[in-house]
Amino acid sequence: MKPLLGISLKVISAVVFTMMSATLKTLAARYPVGEIVFFRSTFALLPLLLWLKWQGDLINAVRTKNVIGHFKRGFIGTGAMYLGFAALSYLPLHDAIAIGYASPLIAVILAALLLKETVRAYRWTAVGIGFVGVLIMLSPYLNVGTFGGDLNAGPTLGAMLAFAGAFCSAGAMIQVRRLTETEKTGAIVFYFFIMASGLSLCTIALGWRMPDGHDLALFILIGILGGVGQILVTQSYRYADTSVIAPFEYTTMIWALLFGWFLFDDLPTLTVLTGAAIVAATGLFIVWREHRLGLLRTKELQATPQRPGV
């Protein structure tokens, strides 16, 4: 284990993914979402395949025993990508990313319902507080105080798309957990990109725009950044425990604030920052709680007397 290396890779991946989102936002107003998803997924295969080839066993890395599972993960994950990218065309970069922080909270609920995981009072309390933070973030777009939110307004629609995208991302997390029981990481990522490329290609009949040379270069850059970011995340978990790595996901807000300020002259409201801080704090608490429970389970196993020969 090399925790400093793992943390460094995670932080770099956060920068890379935020750069991808910022670049994507410059194209979101001019191109259909399906076209953006296609380029992002297709060109992400390039660094992924090079990485798997460099590891030395490309064929076995993408071999699968669960085609149906990959289809489910691809369908849900592509939906999350569509919704998240569409939200970026209506919202400031930092707001779209902040609302996406609801995803781990939703994943806790789905894990209890679908995976039958035991979720105790501490985590339920954290999830409840976290959703208060989500409502605070959404309130400027929904006019929660006066119940006068207009779902047809662009920013309000964007907030709803971002929240729906967070829900789909949580569902994709649950499906990935199921896949990891039998599938390698390379196969999970590879078939997701293949599925997303295929599903998004079906939207060509709805009308795509032919990008010029400059925009085509940006499309390729988005895909490569997405693929590199995925590799960095995967590698980060090889060098440090999840409980160490996961909190650094929230560094995306720092980079989103910087990119949003320099590229789009956007600054977040105090309301959104407050809600994001609450959600991040509850997410960190859940990670800490899981780490503590893991340590307790390990101690219990070590303290359990073993029968001779076992």
Give residue 293's pLDDT: 67
Query: Is residue 97 included in any domain, yes or no?
Result: yes
Give residue 297's pLDDT: 63
Q: Could you tell me if 24 and 31 are in contact, meaning their C-beta atoms sit under 8 angstroms apart? A: no
Give residue 267's pLDDT: 82
pLDDT at 202 over 80: yes
The two counts, helices (H) then strands (E), for the chain are 13, 0
Q: What are phi and psi of 65, to 5 degrees?
A: -115, 5
Query: Is residue 309 included in any domain, yes or no?
Result: no
Query: Is residue 160 included in any domain, yes or no?
Result: yes
Q: Could you tell me if 260 and 267 are in contact, meaning their C-beta atoms sit under 8 angstroms apart? A: yes
Query: Is residue 198 included in any domain, yes or no?
Result: yes
Q: Average pLDDT of 101-120?
A: 85
Q: Could you tell me if 121 and 128 are in contact, meaning their C-beta atoms sit under 8 angstroms apart? A: no
Average pLDDT, the chain: 85
pLDDT in tens, 245-265: 777 888 898 899 889 888 888
Instruction: Tell me the HSE value of 31 on the side-chain side, using a 13 A CA sphere.
Output: 28
- Rounded to whole angstroms, the Cα distance separating 110 from 165 reads 15
Q: Which domain holds residue 127?
A: 3-303
Query: Is residue 308 included in any domain, yes or no?
Result: no
Alpha carbon of residue 216 to chain centroid: 24
- Count up the domains in the chain and report the number: 1
Q: Could you tell me if 267 and 85 are in contact, meaning their C-beta atoms sit under 8 angstroms apart? A: no
pLDDT in tens, 260-304: 888 888 888 888 889 889 988 888 887 777 767 666 666 666 665
pLDDT in tens, 2-57: 778 888 998 999 999 999 999 999 999 899 999 999 999 999 999 999 998 888 77
Q: What is the radius of gyration, based on Cα positions, of the chain?
A: 20
Q: Could you tell me if 17 and 255 are in contact, meaning their C-beta atoms sit under 8 angstroms apart? A: no
Burial letters 118-128, b for 16+ CB under 10 A, else e: eeeeebeebbe
pLDDT in tens, 54-87: 887 788 888 888 999 999 999 999 999 999 999 9
Query: Is residue 193 included in any domain, yes or no?
Result: yes
Q: Could you tell me if 28 and 205 are in contact, meaning their C-beta atoms sit under 8 angstroms apart? A: no
Q: Average pLDDT of 149-153?
A: 52
